[in-house]
Amino acid sequence: MASFKTLGQADVGGKRVLVRADLNVPVKDGRVTDATRIERFATTVTDLLMRGAKVIVLSHFDRPKGKRVPEMSLRPIAPALAKAIGHDVVFADDCIGEAAETVVESLKPGQVALLENLRYHSGEEANDKDFVKALAALGDIYVNDAFSAAHRAHASTEGLAHVLPAYAGRQMQAELEALTAALEQPRKPVMAIVGGSKISSKLDVLNNLAAKVDVLVIGGGMANTFLNAQGINVGKSLCERDLADTARAILENAKRNNCDVFLPTDVVIADGLKEGIATAICPVDKVPSDKMILDVGPGSVQALKAMLNVCKTLLWNGPLGAFEIKPFDEATFSIAHHVAALTKAGTLVSVAGGGDTVAALNGAGVTDQLSYVSTAGGAFLEWMEGKELPGVKALGG
């Protein structure tokens, strides 16, 4: 992990502080429907306000591709941000130029401005030098608090860090420290749970983890591909049969690195993915040809819990079954509650991330009971793949 300066090391009193946030949150009918990211970001803004900074918030919203798209304006986000920080937020109709300059110049210490969508300008995603210069003219200090955008080498995530004194925000710092604790400097034994529908989207993740963790648990639809690769009939389940050789190569990689791979030994089957449908539990090698595997069975869940009891660190990305439809949420929710209990007891450091994982933990009601839950999507996945993130690297100078 790159070394970086933290917000606590910055002298921000009276300074114009450009803070890169990720305020790309769900909005319906002009109202924010999930303010989780905004509420987490509030910690950094509050810190800066208490120390007398002039706070200028930068963010993207959706993908306007360099054009002004009214429905992709950040304006509806301003009231939600104001509520989260308990301070008024002034909105600027652009992120550079006269509209932005006028708002920034009017700021007094302890005040906040939110600038319009960065991606209204093509220079943002192109990391254009002139666009970076125009943004930098608005501030004295740069703070990146958007880990979820750190895998993009954009003007506001990478470019600004090279032209202004750069620091990690409170949320960025917490994320990086949690991820380092989970995979780079973990308490052992380390378990990783990787679920989801297809291994084709997580090849790099699986290979990287197989070389770093002690136990690799494979769940969700991708487990079917591994079972099939071992000659087990998975019926009409979701399965990437053309990736059997790839699955076997991952298993060999794990073996070379003394990583134990956990696959289900019993499964929940049904005719299809439908709520209220009749289900049955069977050994994994007894799946009828006309049935689908839709969840991990209770025997496998108990075995997994026993393994978790001796692990010290857990990294979790992806559900064990089709958790969106009852009763195929049972395995994921059961493991989630067990992980929460072990975390509370202080025997397990638990770090989870990815959209489906967060949704599953929310469904189980345990999101705030794990050590750390990342709301980042692509950045979290690329970190799990072992890739260097441009937005993080830039903070190292």
Residues recognised as catalytic: 37, 198, 355, 378
198 vs 224: CA distance, rounded Å? 9
200 vs 191: CA distance, rounded Å? 21
Q: Which residues have CB under 8 Å from 89's CB, separation 6+?
A: 57, 78, 79, 81, 82, 112, 113, 114
- Give Cα separations from 141 to 2, 18, 161, 212, 340 (angstroms): 20, 6, 9, 37, 39
Q: Which residues have CB under 8 Å from 70's CB, separation 6+?
A: none
364 vs 359: CA distance, rounded Å? 9
- Give Cα separations from 69 to 33, 63, 283, 331 (angstroms): 20, 9, 53, 43
Phi, psi of 100 (to 5 degrees): -75, -45
CB 147 within 8 A of CB 4: no
